[in-house]
Amino acid sequence: MMDVETPEAGVGEYNVDRIVRIKAIEDFLYAEADAIDARQFEDWLDFFSEDIRYWVPIRKNLPFSERFNDMTGPREIAWIDDNRATLEARVGQVLTKIHWAEEPLSRVTHMVTNIRVEELGDDEVGATSTVRSKILVHRSRMDDAGEIIIGRREDKIRQTERGFEIFWRKIIIDQATLNAKNLSFFL
């Protein structure tokens, strides 16, 4: 049997409460993916707080020396930069059934993996966590073979009396040039 070294304090430290919280956060993110894949768009909105920022910066192709600056910043252009009102408007547009880019609706599958809960803390509303994960999103529409978007996410999640809610999401798409015809579906 192989001995496993005990990690330094604060790094990878686990107790029962922390393990239970991490598992609950993982289940929450899987349920979110299931809701959007099942086209339960109004239910999907319930995963987000009223103060949500849902941000997808644009990647840039830069030389190695600038490798850490390869995406647009918080005040620059982005693929998506939504708050609660704009997320609700996007869902409302799809639900009108006359949204040209989503009639008929895309078939979308979200795969969420490599979930890591990196910080646990508190804010004025509740206990908060910074959660990093990887995503693979496959979308097909009509007779199209489909498009794949791969990336990583950073979520800030708080636990309130009503449960978990995402109050900040950053999605970093690996591709600098998207092959998708549009981003009318939800990442």
Domain ranges of the chain: 16-173
Query: Is 77 a residue whose pLDDT tops 80?
Result: yes
Residues 1-59: pLDDT tens digits? Answer: 444 444 444 446 778 888 888 999 999 999 999 999 998 999 999 999 999 999 999 88
Residues 80-91: pLDDT tens digits? Answer: 899 999 999 989
Mean pLDDT confidence for 156-171: 93
| pLDDT for position 10 | 47
Are the C-beta atoms of residues 36 and 186 closer than 8 Å to each other? Answer: yes
Say which residue, 145 or 149, is predicted with more confidence: 149
What is the distance of C-alpha 16 from the center of its chain? 26
DSSP element (H, E) containing 138: strand 127-140
Model confidence at 60, pLDDT cuts 50, 70, 90, reads: confident
Pick the CATH number of 16-173 from 1.10.260.40, 3.40.50.1100, 3.10.450.50, 3.30.365.10: 3.10.450.50
Query: Is 161 a residue whose pLDDT tops 60?
Result: yes
Give the distance between the most distant pair of CA atoms in the chain.
61
DSSP reduced 3-state for 137: strand
| Residues 6+ positions from 74 with CB-CB distance below 8 Å | 55, 57
Mean pLDDT confidence for 90-97: 84
Model confidence at 76, pLDDT cuts 50, 70, 90, reads: confident
| pLDDT for position 34 | 96
For the entire predicted model, the pTM comes to 0.81
Phi-psi region of 24 (alpha: psi -120 to 50; beta: other; left: phi over 0): alpha
Least confident of 71-75, 82-86, 107-111: 71-75
Of 149, 146, 170, 163, give the one whose Cα is nearest residue 54: 170
Model confidence at 131, pLDDT cuts 50, 70, 90, reads: very high
Question: How far apart are alpha carbons 3 and 21 in whole angstroms?
Answer: 26
| pLDDT for position 50 | 95
Mean pLDDT of the chain: 83
